[in-house]
Amino acid sequence: MHDPLPHPFAPPSGDSAGSQRRRLGLLYGVASAATFGVTAPLAKLLLGTTSPLALAGLLYGGGGLGLTLASLLRRSTDREARLRLADAPWLLGAIALGGIAGPVLMLVGFERTSGISGALLLNLEVPLTVLVATWFFREHLGRRGLVAVALIVAGAMVLARPTSDGKTDMLGALCVLGACLCWGIENNLMQRLSARDPWAVARTKMLAASAFNLLLASMTERGLPEPRSIGFALAAGAVGYGASNVLVLRAMRELGAARQAALFATAPFLGAVAAIPILGEWPGTLTGVAAALMAAGVALMAVERHHHRHQHEALAHDHAHSHDDPHHDHVHEPSFTGSHAHPHQHQALAHEHEHLPDAHHRHLHEDEPS
């Protein structure tokens, strides 16, 4: 048993810091799925005017340009940690896997699979993200969290259920599986970057992915659509890709990659809802079943509690923080109030409180391999 600390957390309650951060993370997670989900019916309208690669490049480009403009208009503050040279491996890995390899593998796979099979296989992104997060990045997900993820994935699979037989060869299936694995790893790499300024991280990723997709489209497919469609795609990308990625990073900061990936899986349902006014398509019975499963999963995640005594090792890092919890009791000269970012150190300590797998809680649990 560790000695008591001078600033222990009180037992968890409805107003505890852990509960507040979980609610904030859930809000960011659902909002990220909603902003991305509304892009799906808009993209469907645009697909008739250009190729998939060019459209992906325009959507990524809209996200990057939108975040660049928003960053110029934002008041310069020290509330977020800046990207550093040490972040380059994580960021380059996320761009290479999520913005380049993933889309290419998906397109190759879709050429060799039916649309039905491809849609079903894409649901593997969530369980693969969870697998990578729990086995390689030390995220803890208890039984209740696993059930919540399973319910949300089940709802997504209901939306993608086959309506007719389709032929799929092994290479095509492996390519789609590879794309999902790329995105699963990318999600975890992005979680490692979630302590940095989410605007800068998302902007860099969007612009790099846009450049690659547009370059590949120019070499392999027909050109760009008419200016009106380009403007429409850029605007859709600003919301569905740019804003969504910032919200994803904020959710990952509070919840971890596994839980955020599960919340993001609600995007197809939210896109189906958006399709009602945009495309004039009305959901059927299965959409209601999927909604019920997803709602149950999100609700279960909302009431998930993880609380035990744990040990913090000495740590030095840089991220946005405030001084209303005992993890950040360092002294400023002069004093600083509110959220801010700077390099700081943590002393080793042990305490007990409600927590999620954020930057300070990557410790092992008894049910995890060492």
For residue 202, give its domain range: 25-84+138-156+193-284+294-307
User: What per-residue confidence (pLDDT) applies to 364?
Assistant: 56
Residue range 123-181, pLDDT digits in tens: 788 888 888 988 888 777 778 778 888 888 888 777 666 545 455 578 888 888 899 99
* Alpha-carbon span 119 to 40, nearest angstrom: 13
pLDDT at 68 over 80: yes
* Residues contacting residue 254 through CB under 8 Å, at least 6 positions apart: 21, 22, 24, 25, 28, 356, 358
- Which DSSP category does 344 fall into? E
* Alpha-carbon span 133 to 44, nearest angstrom: 32
pLDDT at 369 over 50: no
Handedness of CA 109, 113, 118, 121 (dihedral sign): negative
Residue 37 lies in a domain: yes
Distances (CA, A) of 322 to 83, 193, 314: 19, 19, 19
SS3 at position 268: helix
Among the listed ranges 14-18, 224-228, 239-243, 263-267, which one has the minimum average pLDDT value? 14-18
Helix, strand, coil distribution of the chain in percent, nearest 5: 60, 10, 30
Return mean pLDDT, the chain: 76
Among 302, 319, 90, 306, CA closest to 188: 90
Residue 70 lies in a domain: yes
* Alpha-carbon span 17 to 324, nearest angstrom: 9
CA dihedral in degrees (110, 111, 114, 115; nearest 10)?
50
Residue 118 lies in a domain: no
Residue 168 lies in a domain: no
pLDDT at 370 over 60: no
Residue 342 lies in a domain: no
pLDDT at 341 over 70: no
- Which pair of tokens denotes residue 305? 């509690």
pLDDT at 51 over 50: yes
Cis peptide before 6 (omega within 30 of 0): no
Q: How many CB atoms lie within 10 A of CB 368?
A: 13
User: What per-residue confidence (pLDDT) applies to 220?
Assistant: 79
Q: How many CB atoms lie within 10 A of CB 194?
A: 22
Residue 351 lies in a domain: no
User: What per-residue confidence (pLDDT) applies to 206?
Assistant: 94
Among 74, 61, 25, CA closest to 256: 25
Using left for φ > 0, alpha for ψ between -120 and 50, and beta otherwise, residue 96 falls in alpha
Residue 13 lies in a domain: no
* Alpha-carbon span 271 to 54, nearest angstrom: 21
Among 278, 340, 348, CA closest to 311: 348
- Which pair of tokens denotes residue 273? 């809802």
Q: How many domains does the chain have?
A: 1
* Alpha-carbon span 103 to 101, nearest angstrom: 6
Average pLDDT over residues 74-85: 73
User: What per-residue confidence (pLDDT) applies to 194?
Assistant: 84
Strand partners, 346: 315
Residue 33 lies in a domain: yes
Residue range 343-359, pLDDT digits in tens: 656 666 665 555 566 65
* Residues contacting residue 80 through CB under 8 Å, at least 6 positions apart: 196, 197, 198, 199, 200, 320, 341
More confident residue, 202 or 117: 202
Residue range 272-331, pLDDT digits in tens: 777 777 767 676 777 788 778 888 887 777 666 555 565 656 666 555 555 566 555 556
SS3 at position 343: strand
Average pLDDT over residues 173-201: 90
Q: pTM score > 0.75 for this model?
A: no
Average pLDDT over residues 32-44: 84
